[in-house]
Amino acid sequence: MELAIATSTNFLILSSMYILVALGFAFLFNMLRILNLAHGAIYMVGGYIGLFIISTLGLNQWIALLLATLIIAAFGVFLEKFCFRPFVGDFNRVVMVCVAIAVILQTAVNIIAGTKALALPPFVEGVFKAGLVSVSYERIATFAIGAALLGVIIWFVNRTKWGQQMQAIAQDKDGAALQGINVHRISALASFIGCGLAALAGCLMGAYLRLGPYMGDLMLIKALILVILAGIGSISGIFVAGLVLGALDAALPVLIPGAASDAVTVSIVIILLLIRPQGFFGYEMEI
Amino acid sequence: MNNNQLSKPATGNSKWTKPAIAAGVVVIIAILPLLLTSPYTLHIFILTFIYTIAAVSLRTIITSGQFPLAHGAFMGVGAYGAAMIAKWLGWSPWLTIPLGGLIAMGIGMLIGYPFARLRALYYAMGSLFFGMAIIYVIWAGGSWTGGYSGLTGIPPLFPIGTSKVPYYYFFLGLAVVSFLALYRFEFSRIGINLKAIAQSHLVASSVGINEALYRVLAVGVGCFFAGLAGAGYAHYTLVLSGATFSFMATLWLVMYVLIGGVNSFIGPIIGTFILVLIPEFARDLKIYVPFISAGILLIVVYIMPQGLVSLPQLIRSKFFERGKSEKVTNAP
């Protein structure tokens, strides 16, 4: 019973965090074809900035969460303007600039904070108890924030003017520009939201698990798995892929110990990809 | 991704200019151990030779229009294959080094066939996931592969106590032979077919080129030399750990290729030498060293669109041919 509850809360939290990070990645990717390999590093830096604000400036955790998100989101606008926009359409240079950004961010964190594992203080204390079920409020809060944000994102993309403009650019950039959509401004907005979501997930995961300078690499791979399994150009597919990957990552380590469970997870992902080479909800695309 | 071009005709000079320059460079590198006797310097050069083999073979796969992100992992396949055979079966390293290449080639071709269904970014990501799977299998291998703590006790290529000089010449020779083979392969009929597939797989298959077969062939050749480099690495360092061949290692191999210039054969060689040697010369800065690598990447990205090999052309068009309209072209 204890194990089942731990596994299912793990599943919900991991799924929502994976989806949050992958959505940010997918916004940039669908609109500009930017394969942002620095997204994992941005997620990691978000967590560290949150920790810095709490421990050094001594501010409230919730304010720190908000501030870290806004700072990284502003950094996203900078990235879009100076690092992504000049290279749109040139895959090789985009990869190079993203690797350079990731290396710079990781080394900076390494120098400032060191490689030792740190953790954010929990956002909510206490344990929720009902009969046999006991879940810490921290986990409930993490999942609740993640789920609420995902709802807001769905509403934003489908119902607001900016979200619809983003979808239009993802479908056809030139066509959207001809309709009077300011492609650069909407791209900057997408980068703002994407990096902000990554930073927020970094703070939440920093409290739920731990912080480390290289934690972004793993998250980047999860985001790539989600985007590729969903299919390029698909937002709703990311939710399905996120639930599948979250379930695998939460359940398999219980059944198989050690690195073998990761090997099984990746093998399942490869088989799924080979069954449908263009992803489950997307389309095949040349870059 | 698809910006490979057929080789341009050499401008002027005789057809012997390029081979003469290459031979001269090899001779200069061959007499270096007489001048630089420090074991550490030789060690860095040996590692550079190993990584150049891997980078050049990675470029061979890229010329076929595939962008694999598993090349570091295939180095790992060759390294662990050779090391485990040499350690557990007691075979001579002279036998297991080519065998490591063949193992990597076999696995690469086996996985290359189903992966020929995937194109462009889906191929890149599929190969990335496969590379991850290899690393996880190595970690999960228990005492066979050494697991997380790494594999030790690998038999050395030359008897223990030998200086670095024999290793230096062995890996220099291995690199030169590999370059000759891969150069020959690139400009053979098969290589031309690969470039045709990279430009348009539809046109290529319409004129009778078997796309899947040639793509698998390119992966096999590329993985063979990656495995060879990895096997040599195993019998040189004598200690292996899965992290050496992880996603970041693959990404750095890709950087070696891209920074030098993906359109020319010499590009990955220059890129590897720049990205391995310059940070090593600045190793006194310790933890700040990655900033130098990142700085080199940013300089190349913003100033040299076609990589370091385009630098002479860039200088020429900027300073000496100001009046002419010829410019360094961006991606076609």
pLDDT the model gives residue B331: 47
Higher pLDDT, B310 or A129: B310
Q: How confident is the model at residue B321 (pLDDT cuts 50, 70, 90)?
A: low
Task: Give CA separation, A175 vs A87, A159, A183, in Å.
Answer: 20, 20, 10
DSSP secondary structure string, B246-276? SHHHHHHHHHHHHHH-TTSTTHHHHHHHHHH
Higher pLDDT, B143 or B98: B98
pLDDT the model gives residue B256: 92
Inform me whether the C-beta atom of residue B70 falls under 8 Å from chain A C-beta atoms. Answer: no
Q: Please report whether residue B89 resides in a domain.
A: yes
Q: How confident is the model at residue B5 (pLDDT cuts 50, 70, 90)?
A: very low
Smallest Cβ–Cβ distance between B117 and the set A96, A100, A274 belongs to A274
Kindly tell me if the per-residue pLDDT of B329 is higher than 60.
no
Q: How confident is the model at residue B12 (pLDDT cuts 50, 70, 90)?
A: low
B306: tokens are 């076609």
pLDDT digits over B71-126, tens only?
A: 999 999 999 999 999 988 888 889 999 999 999 999 999 998 888 888 878 888 88
Kindly tell me if the per-residue pLDDT of A129 is higher than 80.
no
Inform me whether the C-beta atom of residue B104 falls under 8 Å from chain A C-beta atoms. Answer: no
pTM, rounded to two decimals: 0.87
Per the structure, the complete domain to which residue B46 belongs is given by 37-303
pLDDT the model gives residue B4: 46
Q: How confident is the model at residue A228 (pLDDT cuts 50, 70, 90)?
A: confident
Inform me whether the C-beta atom of residue B328 falls under 8 Å from chain A C-beta atoms. Answer: no
Kindly tell me if the per-residue pLDDT of B142 is higher than 80.
no
Q: How confident is the model at residue B323 (pLDDT cuts 50, 70, 90)?
A: low
Helices (H), chain A: 2-32, 39-55, 61-79, 91-113, 137-159, 161-171, 173-178, 183-208, 215-230, 236-255, 259-275
Q: Please report whether residue A238 resides in a domain.
A: no
Spatial separation of the C-alpha atoms in residues B94 and B157, rounded to whole Å: 7
- Report helix, strand or coil for B154: coil
Least confident segment among A260-274, B138-152, B247-261: B138-152
pLDDT the model gives residue B332: 43
Q: How many domains does chain A have?
A: 1
pLDDT the model gives residue A206: 86
Q: Please report whether residue A285 resides in a domain.
A: no
Cβ distance A217 to B122 less than 8 Å, yes or no, reads no
pLDDT digits over A27-38, tens only?
A: 888 888 888 899
Cβ distance A278 to B122 less than 8 Å, yes or no, reads yes
Q: Please report whether residue B158 resides in a domain.
A: yes
Provide, rounded to the nearest whole percent, the portion of chain A with pLDDT above 70: 97
Inform me whether the C-beta atom of residue B255 falls under 8 Å from chain A C-beta atoms. Answer: yes
Q: How confident is the model at residue A285 (pLDDT cuts 50, 70, 90)?
A: low
pLDDT the model gives residue B1: 43
Q: Please report whether residue A262 resides in a domain.
A: no
DSSP secondary structure string, B9-55? PP-SS-TTHHHHHHHHHHHHHHHHHHH---HHHHHHHHHHHHHHHHH
Query: A75, A55, A71, A73: which is closest to A206 by C-alpha?
Result: A55
Question: B331, A89 in Cβ contact below 8 A?
Answer: yes
Cβ distance B331 to A90 less than 8 Å, yes or no, reads yes
pLDDT the model gives residue A102: 92
Least confident segment among A260-264, B8-12, B51-55: B8-12
A-B contacts (CB, under 8 Å): 126
Kindly tell me if the per-residue pLDDT of A238 is higher than 50.
yes
Q: Please report whether residue A244 resides in a domain.
A: no
Q: Please report whether residue B313 resides in a domain.
A: no
Smallest Cβ–Cβ distance between B120 and the set A95, A267, A285 belongs to A285
pLDDT the model gives residue B148: 82
Q: Please report whether residue A271 resides in a domain.
A: no
CATH code of the domain in which B223 resides: 1.10.3470
Looking at residue A282, the DSSP 8-state letter turns out to be S
Look-up: residue for tokens 């557990």?
Answer: B88
Kindly tell me if the per-residue pLDDT of A44 is higher than 50.
yes
Higher pLDDT, B128 or B162: B128
Q: Please report whether residue B24 resides in a domain.
A: no
Spatial separation of the C-alpha atoms in residues A16 and A5, rounded to whole Å: 17
- φ, ψ dihedrals at B118, nearest 5°: -90, 145
Cβ distance B126 to A284 less than 8 Å, yes or no, reads no
Q: What is the mean pLDDT of residues A136-162?
A: 87
What ipTM is given for this predicted complex? 0.87
Question: B221, B57 in Cβ contact below 8 A?
Answer: yes
- Report helix, strand or coil for A129: strand
Per the structure, the complete domain to which residue A118 belongs is given by 2-215
pLDDT the model gives residue A30: 84
Inform me whether the C-beta atom of residue B262 falls under 8 Å from chain A C-beta atoms. Answer: yes
pLDDT digits over B233-290, tens only?
A: 999 988 888 888 888 889 999 999 999 888 888 999 999 999 888 888 877 777 888 8
Kindly tell me if the per-residue pLDDT of A261 is higher than 80.
yes
Q: What is the mean pLDDT of residues A137-166?
A: 88
Is residue A164 exposed (0-12), middle (13-18) or buried (19+ Cβ within 10 Å)? middle
Residues in chain A whose beta carbon is closer than 8 A to a beta carbon of chain B? 35, 37, 86-87, 89-93, 95-97, 99-101, 103-104, 106-107, 110-111, 217, 221, 224-225, 228, 232, 258-260, 262-263, 266-267, 269-270, 273-274, 277-279, 284-287
Inform me whether the C-beta atom of residue B128 falls under 8 Å from chain A C-beta atoms. Answer: yes
Spatial separation of the C-alpha atoms in residues B81 and B102, rounded to whole Å: 9
Average pLDDT, whole number, for chain A?
A: 86
Q: How many domains does chain B have?
A: 1
Average pLDDT, whole number, for chain B?
A: 85
Question: B183, B19 in Cβ contact below 8 A?
Answer: no
Kindly tell me if the per-residue pLDDT of B57 is higher than 90.
yes
pLDDT the model gives residue B3: 46
Higher pLDDT, B332 or A234: A234
Cβ distance B294 to A103 less than 8 Å, yes or no, reads yes
Higher pLDDT, A179 or A284: A179
pLDDT the model gives residue B165: 87
Q: Please report whether residue A281 resides in a domain.
A: no
Q: Please report whether residue B78 resides in a domain.
A: yes
